[in-house]
């Protein structure tokens, strides 16, 4: 759980300091006040980049050289005789206009974003999240791999090796200089790592898919036969090695590797049709919420990294009152930390379960103030 946050020069947030963050943190205020920028800042802390798909430069306040986000995460750690104590871990990310990133965890520099992501696992839901369904497969692979990464420690190493092999093999194929001997070496490594990635993904998918169905049965019971289908990126009747052999001439002719985990997809189906083609915008948002809640539940249950934090931009958009209530109830039952934005505070107060404590922050012209009535 993120207990403290300090933001410097992220968009219109010049200096923002938030302490004593709670489980449910709501940021409300008018358009352009800086609400989404607060969520972007937390994303910067966990992923070293924005979730808006914009360049790092656009994130840095105009006419300043860099932006910085510093935070403290506390996680319940097992102490002596099984007593649990909250240990605080400081972490910080600085990005400069030149693209340089400086990342520190516990005061020590770290080199990979994976270490940040392990320290502060994030799930993001925004008004654009429907693109997980309607957009290209890359987004759905990332979605799937987020889950595998957080529950299977060995996945990331294999994934890195696979990416290296694929790059090398494609470089050679593109230059048309591939010798049989080189091809054998790269194909062997690609096969091994590709098969391993596929196995991890399949194992994770086998638990994700029923969890997603359970959640959707609560969120949208009327939606017709919702299901997920995993496509591994090559003919499922073949081993990866066989698929690479079969694709050899196409690969050499066109200069890239046609099959493999880099072509995998998770298809979301409703009543036998692609959800992206048939569901309404609100239904799509619900499905995306279901996908992301399912991952959060699995991580809490199976991962050894605790729970993930949800960043939800404009929660009420596209969702009616009934469905907003259901999403909030599920989040509340998961006992996860949530950062959520809305225009007027009533929008969240009216849908969040009354029993829980909500901390409200009013955002205006880049200033973030704890709202006096927030702890009522």
- In the chain, which residue ranges form alpha helices assigned H by DSSP? 35-47, 56-59, 113-119, 131-134, 137-151, 155-175, 180-219, 240-246, 248-254, 275-278, 281-302, 321-334, 346-349
11 binds ligand ATP (CB under 6 A): yes
- Least Å from the CB of residue 295 to ligand ATP: 25
- Span of 35-43, 68-76, 85-93, 253-261 interacting with ligand ATP by CB under 6 A: 35-43
- Span of 8-16, 34-42, 343-351, 359-367 interacting with Mg ion by CB under 5 A: 34-42
Q: Count other C-beta atoms under 10 Å from residue 338's C-beta.
A: 24
- Which of Mg ion, ligand ATP, none does residue 355 bind to, with CB < 5 to 8 Å depending on kind? none
50 binds ligand ATP (CB under 6 A): no
12 binds ligand ATP (CB under 6 A): yes
User: Site for ligand ATP (CB under 6 A): which residue of 62, 111, 175, 177?
Assistant: 62
Structure tokens, 131: 């693109």
DSSP string of 143-194, one letter each residue: HHHHHHHHH-TTHHHHHHHHHHHHHHHHHHHHHT---HHHHHHHHHHHHHHH
Q: Would you say 233 or 366 has its CB closer to ligand ATP? A: 366
Taking CB under 5 A as the rule, which mask of x and - marks residues 35-64 in contact with Mg ion? -x----------------------------
Taking CB under 5 A as the rule, which mask of x and - marks residues 277-316 in contact with Mg ion? ----------------------------------------
36 binds ligand ATP (CB under 6 A): yes
Q: Would you say 31 or 179 has its CB closer to ligand ATP? A: 31
User: Site for ligand ATP (CB under 6 A): which residue of 33, 41, 232, 270?
Assistant: 33
34 binds ligand ATP (CB under 6 A): yes
3-state secondary structure of 290: helix
Q: Number of residues in contact with Mg ion, rule: CB under 5 A?
A: 1
- Span of 56-64, 150-158, 246-254, 289-297 interacting with ligand ATP by CB under 6 A: 56-64
| CA 78 and chain centroid, separation | 27
Cα(334)–Cα(331) distance, integer angstroms = 5
Non-local (6+) Cβ contacts of 230 within 8 A are: 144, 201, 202, 205, 209, 264, 265, 266
- Least Å from the CB of residue 313 to Mg ion: 6
Q: Would you say 36 or 94 has its CB closer to Mg ion? A: 36
Residues 130, 133, 136, 137, CA torsion sign: positive
- Least Å from the CB of residue 373 to ligand ATP: 20
Cα(87)–Cα(51) distance, integer angstroms = 28
Non-local (6+) Cβ contacts of 155 within 8 A are: 145, 148, 149, 197, 200
In the numeric block, the tokens 């947030």 are attached to 13
58 binds ligand ATP (CB under 6 A): yes
- Least Å from the CB of residue 32 to ligand ATP: 3
H helix or E strand, kind and range, residue 364: strand 358-364
- Least Å from the CB of residue 31 to ligand ATP: 3
Q: Number of residues in contact with ligand ATP, rule: CB under 6 A?
A: 14
317 binds ligand ATP (CB under 6 A): no
DSSP string of 14-66, one letter each residue: EEEEE-S--SEEEEE-STTSSHHHHHHHHHHHHHSS-SS---HHHHBPTT-SE
**In contact, 45 and 94? CB cutoff 8 Å:** no
Q: Would you say 13 or 275 has its CB closer to ligand ATP? A: 13
- Least Å from the CB of residue 50 to ligand ATP: 10
Cα(272)–Cα(251) distance, integer angstroms = 33
| CA 154 and chain centroid, separation | 19
- Span of 33-41, 102-110, 121-129, 266-274 interacting with Mg ion by CB under 5 A: 33-41
Residue numbers at the binding site for ligand ATP (CB under 6 A) = 11-12, 29, 31-37, 58, 60-62
Q: Which residues form the interface with Mg ion (CB under 5 A)?
A: 36
């Amino acid at each position: 759980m993120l207990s403290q946050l300090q933001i410097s020069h992220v968009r219109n947030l010049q200096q923002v300091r938030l302490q004593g963050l709670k489980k449910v943190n709501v940021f409300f205020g008018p358009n352009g006040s800086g609400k989404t920028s607060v969520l972007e800042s937390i994303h910067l802390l966990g992923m070293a980049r924005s979730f808006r798909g914009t360049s790092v430069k656009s994130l840095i306040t105009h006419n300043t050289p860099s932006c910085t986000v510093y935070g403290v995460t506390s996680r319940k750690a097992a102490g002596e005789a099984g007593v649990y104590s909250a240990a605080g871990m400081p972490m910080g990310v600085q990005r400069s206009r030149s693209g340089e990133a400086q990342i520190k965890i516990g005061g020590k520099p770290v080199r990979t974003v994976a270490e940040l992501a392990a320290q502060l696992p994030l799930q993001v839901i925004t008004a654009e999240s429907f693109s997980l369904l309607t957009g290209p497969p890359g987004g759905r692979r990332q979605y799937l791999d987020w889950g595998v990464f957080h529950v299977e420690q060995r996945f990331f190493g294999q994934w890195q090796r696979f990416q290296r092999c694929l790059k090398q093999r494609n470089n050679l194929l593109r230059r048309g200089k591939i010798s049989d001997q080189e091809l054998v070496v790269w194909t062997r490594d690609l096969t091994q790592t590709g098969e391993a990635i596929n196995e991890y993904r399949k194992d994770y998918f086998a638990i994700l898919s029923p969890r997603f169905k359970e959640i959707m049965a609560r969120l949208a019971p009327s939606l017709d036969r919702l299901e997920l289908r995993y496509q591994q990126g090559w003919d499922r009747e073949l081993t990866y090695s066989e698929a690479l052999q079969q694709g050899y001439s196409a690969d050499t002719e066109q200069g890239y590797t046609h099959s493999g985990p880099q072509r995998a997809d998770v298809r979301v189906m409703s009543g036998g049709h692609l959800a992206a083609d048939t569901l309404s915008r609100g239904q799509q948002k619900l499905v995306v919420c279901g996908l992301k809640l399912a991952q959060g539940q699995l991580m809490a249950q199976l991962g050894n990294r605790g729970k993930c934090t949800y960043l939800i931009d404009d929660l009420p958009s596209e969702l009616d009152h009934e469905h907003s209530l259901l999403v909030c109830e599920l989040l509340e039952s998961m006992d996860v930390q949530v950062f959520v934005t809305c225009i007027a505070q009533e929008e969240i107060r009216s849908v969040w379960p009354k029993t829980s404590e909500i901390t409200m922050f009013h955002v205006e012209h880049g200033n973030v103030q704890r709202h006096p009535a927030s702890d009522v």
